[in-house]
Amino acid sequence: ALTAMASTRLFLRASPVKSSLTGLTGGVRSSLGLTLLKRSPDCTAKPKAQRRHAAHFSYHPDPAPTQYGPTQKMNLFQSVTSALDNTLAGDPTAVIFGEDVAFGGVFRCTVGLRDKYGKDRVFNTPLCEQGIVGFGIGAAVAGATAIAEIQFADYIYPAFDQIVNEAAKYRYRSGNMYDCGKLTIRSPWGCVGHGSIYHSQSPEAFFAHCPGIKIVVPRGPVQAKGLLLSCITDQNPCIFFEPKILYRAAVEQVPTEAYQIPLSQAEVLQEGSDLTLVAWGTQVHVLREVAAMAQEKLGVSCELIDLQTILPWDTETVCKSVVKTGRLLVSHEAPVTGGFAAEISSTVQEECFLNLEAPISRVCGYDTPFPHIFEPFYIPDKWKCFEAVKRMINY
């Protein structure tokens, strides 16, 4: 039986507001999507007095890559579209499916692809996340490159059984006779400034406990395209979480041709000698500001690492950094208890115990449902992280 929330979602997604089309490239197709995009950091929120929608970080674009050919200015959702376009063009077995993807999706990540490649390759599904992933498993087993979209990461839970008990174990249980490694699941992820409990969650830790899948979170457009293409071509089922607050706020020069960024390789964004900062997705930009504050106010040199792949994660890069700095701070938006920061902390404690100069610090969300008006107090902002830096230096 449908729950009250599912019934509400079904009603909203079937309402005339959702189905009113305004042209292929203009606007979004739901009042929720429109609200989220209008109130993203680089868009104008109405009324302007609603200052709580301001971003809790500043986005600093990466330098334009030169090794992958010509580039074009893209935001994060456009870089995702570009990756999907490259895949559909180069792989005749590739299909994209999910709720509302045919007309571009609520965040516009698939805009124009149905018209370009046809309704048999880019198509809508019923409102049933378990069915979306189950269909994707079957398509991948049959040999197709299956790219499924879960409209929000908060709604991935109905598909949990299909991901954990089926997709992740398909190769193992058949003795490698069969697999669904050509399955990739995309989903908008993380806080957005006003998403409340059902449009703000970061569920990566739930899946990190499950061998057989890979989990990836990019920090910007260049990484989003390269990592997504790596997920799509990887021979294991992958979950690709996209920080939705960055869909329009993050703008970089992105290569137009297909390229890949290796999975399970963290990236050292800033070298330092006194303290290691580790994050992924949006939180990387928060810690970038923390590193600058620590240098300016405390004279502390921070090494900043973007983990990029949550599972399997790059233990070598992180531990090598901690051996050098003697201190580690890990930060993510998800609740602190059982969050992936705990796994990183445990591994580093086991591997680098004699090198540690202070207890490892986790600066994360609280152990509460994600709040609405209290989001500014919930998120692990730069001030909370900076206080943790001071505690570790003074330990």
Tokens of 122: 């880019």
Q: Which residues of 211-223 are buried (b: 16+ CB within 10 A; e: fewer)?
A: ebbbbbbbbbbbb
Q: Provide the β-strand partners of residue 124.
A: 98
Plot region of 392 (φ>0 → left; ψ -120 to 50 → alpha; else → beta): alpha
List 194, 199, 285, 332, catalytic entry: 199
DSSP state letters, 181-220: TTEEEEEEES--SS-GGGS----HHHHHTSTT-EEE--SS
d(CA 65, CA 27): 30
Cis peptide before 312 (omega within 30 of 0): yes
Is 375 known to be catalytic?
A: no
Q: Are 82 and 68 in contact (CB under 8 A)?
A: no
Is 350 known to be catalytic?
A: no
Q: Are 164 and 210 in contact (CB under 8 A)?
A: yes
* CA–CA distances in Å: residue 61 to residues 64, 285, 303, 335, 366: 9, 10, 18, 28, 29
List 99, 129, 303, 343, catalytic entry: 129
d(CA 25, CA 31): 16
Question: For residue 232, which of 181, 189, 187, 267 has the smallest C-alpha distance?
Answer: 181
In a 3-state reduction of DSSP, which class is residue 319? helix
Rounded to the nearest 10 degrees, how much is the dihedral formed by the CA atoms of 251, 256, 259, 263?
20
Q: Are 334 and 202 in contact (CB under 8 A)?
A: yes
Q: Which residues are catalytic?
A: 129, 199
